Amino acid sequence: MTYGAITAIESNRKIKSFLLIFFGLLVFLSNAPRLLAQNRIAIPAQINPSHPRLVTNAQNGKDLLTKLIESEAWAKTTYQNIDNEIKPYVERHQTDSTWIVSRLQMYWKEHYTNIYIKNGIYAYASGKAPVPTVRFTGARDASTAYSLPALEDIKPYMDLDGKIHLQNKAIPGKPWEWVDQSKTGRIIEAININIMNKARDAAMIYWYTGNEKYAKFAYDIFNTYVTGIYYRDEPIDLNHGHDQTLVGLSSFEVIHEDIIEPVTACYDLLYNYIDKNHKEKKPLYAEALKKWADIIIKNGVPFNNWDLIEARFIANIALVLDDDNQYTDGKGCQYYLDQVLNKNSIRQWAIVDLLKKGYDPDTGIWSECPGYSVNVLSDFTGFVDFFDRTLNIDLLPKIPVLAKAVLAQAQYLYPNGFIVGFGDTHYGPLPTRGIEDMIRNARLYHKTEQEMIYTRMLKTIQQIGVENTREETPKRSSFSELFANQAVTISEKIPAGKPRDYLTASFWSPNVSWMVLRNGLDVNNGLMISQAGSSGNHAHANGIAMELYGKGFILAPEGGIGGSYFQADYAEYYSQFPAHNTVVVDGISSYPVMKSNHPLQLIACYPQSGSVDGYFRNVTFSDLNFLEPETNACQNRLMSIIRTGDSSGYYIDIFRSRKKFGRDKYHDYIYHNLGQQVILSDNLNRTLELKTTDKLTFANSELIGYDYWWDKKSITSSDDFKARFDLQVPGRQPVAMNMWMKGYPDREIFSVKAPPSRSWRNNEMIPDSVANLPLPTVVVRQNGEAWNKPFAAVFEPSSGITGSTISKISTLTNNGTDSSSVGLLVENKNGLNDYIIASADTVTANYQDITLKGTYGVVRLKAGTPNFLFLGNGYNLQKGGYGLWSDKQSSATLSFNDQQLYYTADQEVTLSVPDNYIRVKSVILSYELRNKSITINGERAIVRNKKIVRFKLPAMPLTKIFIKHS
């Protein structure tokens, strides 16, 4: 267990003891799945018959709401706003009870019972019920040319030969038209949800005040809709295809049966009114709700966020039903709770099993992209809170992986407080609902240590990136928050932790093929790389994709999801290689998206994933492999962050790519950067003379996504080149990404404009005016293979204040036997010179007097003398008598700081230093580790005509060492 949150708390003995026990239990359970499967969650044989019990409770719910309204201004305002909004409709209802009801989208004339769908759209309907039935929605895709109308603009009993009256926003003047239902997207269900929300709000005010005007209004809507659902059957897919396994009673996808939440809340709050005035209808309502739940259990997808959303809908229905013994079929509250918590069906897994299958037991990361994962976590902790509130059942001991998952979600964060963007994700702040739920649970069940852990985390997360990039969190202002078991109050006695306790220097989660490297967590000066493959749900076809951060922004972004999953731009571009920072082979790299199974392979990283201390902080790196299936190509991406000062540093990107059996046509390196322009130049800062080209197009048998690029220009060049991407955000200093790339023969460099990233929205981090700009993009085409002629790039983010801190980048000449290796010299304005060597093979590479046998080596000179030697996953690295040697591939560092020596290694390593001790008999190395003093005698030797002293050292964290003589 290496999470920083745990390490930060170790000084507190009580917390440390708790963590050892708590996370020891996690490890035990994760390694004993049979035991976990048998750990059935018990359900009470009898449920408290009093209502409400879903959104609040009958015993003290009113008192709690009164206290909240009196003590919290936002709650008072929220309640008043709800009442003010609903009151005019309620008053009108007293004299015109048809006005609001007639706006519901129903089959008012034909009373259809059977719905038929085809290719994700409504086809037709048949059958005849004795009452109006609920109109099915128009299409699975929400995109439509028509606008969602205001209630006042909806025609009463709208049903002209099956058509509905809507405003066409795609035509100048936005005329109103009678529209075929199949062209209306999800407008129909949106209208009904809007009206049902008003019924729920009115039911709440009735429950709180006893005013039956509100009850009548709510009941008439509820009764019309639920009676209409009772007579409706499950829609039929005329293709007998996948859609049949997804469809619900009101929506094409059971996860979009969102109207269930206001329906069940309304019923719960109106229960006593209905029991008194319309008791004869209760069996019908129960059967309608149970049919709805049965279809949700029958359909859907079990292995991702769908399962959880469906479970929430089923649990809502369960909590408004009576006990099982009140129904002849035995299917009541307990039955449906058991379906959610303990039972598995083909498309609905039990919560316990879903947790076990969905979360990586080692990392705590959910097997979907971050945009879905953070909401899944909130849903899971929301279930804990739900059962805390409604049944006084503590689910957390039964699902302990949640404790790790809540801590792990912080790893998604950039230094500016926004989550990474791979897959179907939007950039945005990390939701803190899960952390708050853990605090609520701790308070309710008096778990002092748990409260300490998550209070520290919450306070820390709230501080990350807050100084420049996030607005103050708005106060709660929704119906649901009035009944959220009271807003969690945070103890002032518990201090915040440190960001580095939660955001580690490296993090690898194999279930989603996601690698993070960080160096520094300051908003403006922190550096971070996020790399992702295509494993897990909501993944894209992107090979080894990457994002880069700098100066407060995600400068090299992901592409997002485009218009929607069902639009051409998603299928052709946003989910495909051309929208990502990656390499395409022969112009055709692709594979299935969404539920993808094309993972990356982690070869090495430094420091080890999740490490919080004991490592060398100036260098982080990762080495990832990928098999590109379309062309059967091997791809390797080595990335690194090298820190040159508290406010400066740069990225290394070395991407190798080749087809397994040769016959490589070409490999395209794609790099998108946020900004208004890109300027390409040579190493002498002369602007490259690019010419318009018609290459990069589907017409050349390349991916259709290439056709989404425009303003394409290119130049053929074997020389090194530079690119500067300029970004200007209103109110912020100008930012640039400075790119340098090593040249090779048979190479063509392109500048293109790409569609804007759809990962940004709602003016978060950057204004929409900037987010909607085309992305300046560089494409580098290497004809033939790109393994021995890899794409070797250096990226440095800079701001208007400091500008670039790199003075020169040049290529080193290889005098060794490794034809695949790359040698770079990065000269910095502060006098630091970094010699960087990267190899694909474990053969010796020689550059000047530096020798590397391994994956990665960095030698820094300061004023001509070594400042550090960094060996990454290698056998040896040597420079001027200083060296690191190992029999196994190791990562090790020897560094000099104020004339002090520091050393670290993850394997046994032989350290060598120049033998400058000519007149002494012996040389001794000593250090202190874990309160023990250790001394090692040096062994003199001559290597390549250099006299050295060698010391065999064990694996150890970063430790100060002393070399003495006698």
Give the pair of three-digit tokens for residue 74: 């936002």
Is residue 352 within 8 A of residue 344, CB to CB? The reply is no
Q: Is the peptide bond before 607 cis (omega within 30 degrees of 0)?
A: yes
Give per-residue pLDDT as tens, 298-326: 999 888 888 889 999 999 999 999 999 99
Strands of 514-519's sheet, edge to edge?
506-509, 514-519, 527-532, 545-550, 553-556
For residue 487, the model assigns a pLDDT of 62
Q: Using CA of residue 584, residue 589, residue 595, residue 596, what is the dihedral sign?
A: negative
pLDDT band at 897 (very low <50, low <70, confident <90, very high): confident
pLDDT band at 285 (very low <50, low <70, confident <90, very high): very high
Phi-psi region of 70 (alpha: psi -120 to 50; beta: other; left: phi over 0): alpha
- The mean pLDDT of 575-589, rounded to a whole number, is 97
Picking from 752, 697, 701, the residue whose alpha carbon sits closest to that of residue 723 is 752
pLDDT band at 919 (very low <50, low <70, confident <90, very high): confident
Spell out the residues 6+ positions from residue 318 whose beta carbon is closer than 8 angstroms to its own. Answer: 293, 332, 333, 334, 335, 336, 337, 340
Q: Using CA of residue 334, residue 340, residue 344, residue 346, what is the dihedral sign?
A: positive
For residue 474, the model assigns a pLDDT of 44
Question: What distance in Å separates the CA atoms of residue 265 and residue 232, rounded to the nearest whole number?
Answer: 21
- The mean pLDDT of 551-561, rounded to a whole number, is 95
Give per-residue pLDDT as tens, 397-426: 988 899 999 999 999 999 999 999 999 999
For residue 965, the model assigns a pLDDT of 82
For residue 196, the model assigns a pLDDT of 97
Residue 94 has pLDDT above 50, yes or no: yes
Picking from 202, 296, 299, 199, the residue whose alpha carbon sits closest to that of residue 257 is 296
Angle at 34 between CA 31 and CA 37, to 5 degrees: 115
Bridge partners (DSSP) of residue 419 are: 413
Bridge partners (DSSP) of residue 645 are: 648
Half-sphere exposure of 702 (CA within 13 A, CB side): 24
Give the pair of three-digit tokens for residue 550: 């700098």
Three-state secondary structure call for residue 89? helix
439-453, 618-632, 798-812: range with lowest mean pLDDT: 798-812
Is residue 585 within 8 A of residue 667, CB to CB? The reply is yes
Question: What distance in Å separates the CA atoms of residue 584 and residue 668, rounded to the nearest whole number?
Answer: 5
Is residue 517 within 8 A of residue 505, CB to CB? The reply is yes
Residue 48 has pLDDT above 70, yes or no: yes
Give per-residue pLDDT as tens, 615-642: 999 999 999 999 999 999 999 999 999 9
Cβ-defined contacts of 53-62 (< 8 Å, 24+): 53/268, 53/319, 53/320, 53/390, 54/264, 54/265, 54/268, 54/316, 54/319, 54/320, 54/390, 55/204, 55/265, 55/268, 55/269, 55/480, 55/483, 56/483, 57/389, 57/390, 61/483, 62/207, 62/208
Residue 844 has pLDDT above 80, yes or no: yes
Secondary structure string (H, E, C) spanning 892-917: EEEEEECCEEEEEECCCEEEEEECCC
For residue 18, the model assigns a pLDDT of 32
pLDDT band at 471 (very low <50, low <70, confident <90, very high): very low
* Mean pLDDT score across all residues of the chain: 91
Residue 13 has pLDDT above 70, yes or no: no
- The mean pLDDT of 329-344, rounded to a whole number, is 94
pTM of the model: 0.88
| End-to-end CA, the chain | 43
For residue 484, the model assigns a pLDDT of 66
Picking from 514, 560, 559, 555, the residue whose alpha carbon sits closest to that of residue 533 is 514
225-229, 487-491, 527-531, 841-845: range with lowest mean pLDDT: 487-491
Residue that wins the pLDDT comparison between 780 and 562 = 780
Amino acid at 108: W
DSSP string, 170-232: TSTT--EEEE-GGGSTTHHHHHHHHHHHHHHHHHHHHHHH--HHHHHHHHHHHHHHHHHHHT-
Question: What distance in Å separates the CA atoms of residue 133 and residue 135, rounded to the nearest whole number?
Answer: 6
For residue 39, the model assigns a pLDDT of 63
Give per-residue pLDDT as tens, 751-764: 999 999 999 988 88
Give the pair of three-digit tokens for residue 715: 């130049």
Give the helix, strand, coil percentages of the chain, each rounded to 5.
Answer: 30, 30, 40
Residue 470 has pLDDT above 50, yes or no: no
